Structure 1
Amino acid sequence: MNSTTSGQPRLLNLEEFAALIRKMREVFQWSQETLAELAGLNVRTVQRVENAKSASFDTRRALARAFEIEDIDAFNKPYIIPTEEELKEEKARFDRDYITLPTFPLSTGRQLAKLAEGSTVDICQPGFEIKREAHEVFAALIDYFREYRDCASEYPETSKFSVYDEMQELIDELLTQQVSIHCATREVHLKVSDSQPDAKPMTVQMTYLIAFEQGKAPDEFAVQKKPDFRF
C-alpha cells in the first residue's frame, strides 16, 4: 500500500477492502480473532473479508466500529485508502485508550469461585449474539459469581465445595449449549474522589468473564484502560 493517497473517493471493491482491513489489523497488531471479537463477528467472517470473498453492509459497519471509526458507514461510502501515517496515528490513539489482556478458559466451578474470591469489580457479557436459553444460564452464572464474591469470606472451607459444584453445573450447562467462558484479570487504579486530588488511588482487581461460541474464543481481549465496571 502506498504511503500517500491519490485519486477521487470511490467505493472499494472486495480486493481493495480486503487489503485495507488486513493492513489496519496488522498496524493495530491484532489477530483475526481479536478483530472478530471487537467487531462482534464470527472469525470466519473476518477471514472471508480478508480473502476478498464477501463484505456485506452490516459487516463493514461492524468492522468500522471495531476500529472506532466515528462514521460507522465509512466503509460503505466512497473512500480513500488511508496513508501509513494515518494508520499509525489511529494505532497510537488506540494504545492510549486500550490495553490487550491474555485470556484463559473457565472450565471448573472451583476456578470460578477462586476468581470471585480475588475479584473486586467485573465486566461480564456475551462476546457474540447468544441464544436466549444460553443467555439465561450465563446470567445465572454471573449472578452466582457476584453473590459469592460479596460474601466469600463468610463461607467455611467445607461449605465452599457446594459452591464449586453449583457453579460447575452452570458451566457444564453452557458447554452443552456450545458456549464457553473465557476470562482475563488485571489491576485497576481508581481515583477515590475528585474532591481529594492528593488522595492515593485505590487498587482493585478487575475480572472479565466473556461468553463465546465454543471453540471460537480469542487468545486476548482488547479492553478500555478506564473501564465501565461493576462493584
Structure 2
Amino acid sequence: MSATEKTQPRLLTPEELGLVVKIHRELRQWSQEQLGELSGLSTRTIQRVEGGKPSDLDTRRALARAFDLEDIDAFNKPYVIPSEDELKAAKEEFDRENITLPVLPLSTGKELASLVELASMDLSTPAFELSREADERFAELIDHFRDYRDCADCYSQRDKFAIYDELQEHIDALKVLEVSLRYAIRKMIVKGAIPEAKPVPVKVLYVIAFPLGKEPTEIATPRSMPLGW
C-alpha cells in the first residue's frame, strides 16, 4: 500500500466484532450474564458473539442498545480498519508524544509519605469514574499528602507516624470502596516563564486510582505538559 492510499471502510468480521463487544462489556465491568439481561439476549448468544461466531442484524442492534450507543446500527456499519503500516505510523506518533511509565502498587501510608517527600509536585487523578464517596475520599487523600509535602521538614520522625496512620486510613477506605492506588515517579525538566531562567530538574509523583483488580502495570503520559506546583 502506498503512503497516500487510504484504507477503505468495511464491515467488521465476526472475530473483530466479538473483540469489540468484549471490550465494551469489560469497560463497564459487566459479566456476560449481565450483558445478556440488559440486551435481552441469552448468555449463550453473548458467548457466541464474543467467540467470533456470526450474528444477525437484530442481535447486533440489541448489543448496541445495551451499551447505550447513539447509533443502534453501529455494529452493522462499515468501519475503517487501519492497515499494519497505518498502525505502525500511529504508534510511532504516539511514542513521539508520550512516554510510558511503570506503575507500582501503593498500599501503605508510610510509603506514600516517603514518596511525597521525594517529589516536588504530583499529578494525581482517578483513571475511571469514581462513586461520590470514593471521589471524596480520593480528594481528601490528595489534599492530605499535599499539605504534608508543604511542611514535611517540620515533622520529627516520631510525629510522622501520625501522618502515616492518617494516610493509611484513606488508602484502606478506598480499598473498601473497590479502589486501588498505583504510583509512578517521573523525572522532568521544568522551564520557567522567563527565557533566561535556568531549567529546574524535578521529580513528579503520579498517584492514580484504578478499579480494584483491574490495575495496569504501566501508563502513558504526554512528554510535555503544563504542571502546577
TM-score between the two structures when normalised by the length of structure 1: 0.71
1:195 and 1:212 map into 2 onto residues whose CA distance is 39
CA contact (8 A) 2:187 2:203 kept: yes
Q: Which runs of 5+ in 2 are unaligned?
A: 32-46, 54-59
Using CA pairs under 8 Å that are at least 6 residues apart, name the structure with larger relative contact order, 1 or 2.
Answer: 1
Q: Deviations over 1:12-37 (max 9, x none)?
A: 35423567x7xxxxxxxxxxxxx99x
Q: Displacement of 1:138 after TM fit?
A: 0.8
CA contact (8 A) 1:10 1:79 kept: yes
Q: Deviations over 1:49-96 (max 9, x none)?
A: 98559885897x9xxxxxxxxxxxx99963332221111110010001
Distance 1:78 1:104, change over 3 A: same
2:224 and 2:100 map into 1 onto residues whose CA distance is 13
Q: Superposition RMSD on alpha carbons, in Å?
A: 3.8
The answer on 1:41 being equivalent to 2:39 is: no
2:7 and 2:86 map into 1 onto residues whose CA distance is 17
Q: Secondary structure at the match of 1:192?
A: coil
Q: Displacement of 1:218 after TM fit?
A: 0.5
1:153 and 1:209 map into 2 onto residues whose CA distance is 22
Q: Displacement of 1:41 after TM fit?
A: 3.1
The residue that corresponds to 1:195 in the other structure is 195
CA contact (8 A) 2:7 2:81 kept: no
The residue that corresponds to 1:102 in the other structure is 102
Equivalence map 1:1-231=2 (5 Å): 9-17=9-17, 41=27, 52=52, 56=64, 78-193=78-193, 195-196=195-196, 199-231=197-229
TM-score between the two structures when normalised by the length of structure 2: 0.71
Distance 1:136 1:130, change over 3 A: same
1:145 and 1:94 map into 2 onto residues whose CA distance is 32
Q: Secondary structure at the match of 1:158?
A: coil
Q: Which runs of 5+ in 1 are unaligned?
A: 22-34, 62-73
Q: Secondary structure at the match of 2:159?
A: helix
Instruction: Count matched residues.
Output: 198
2:200 and 2:51 map into 1 onto residues whose CA distance is 47
Q: Displacement of 1:219 after TM fit?
A: 0.8
CA contact (8 A) 1:187 1:203 kept: yes
CA contact (8 A) 1:3 1:84 kept: no
User: Which entry has the higher C-alpha Rg, 1 or 2?
Assistant: 2
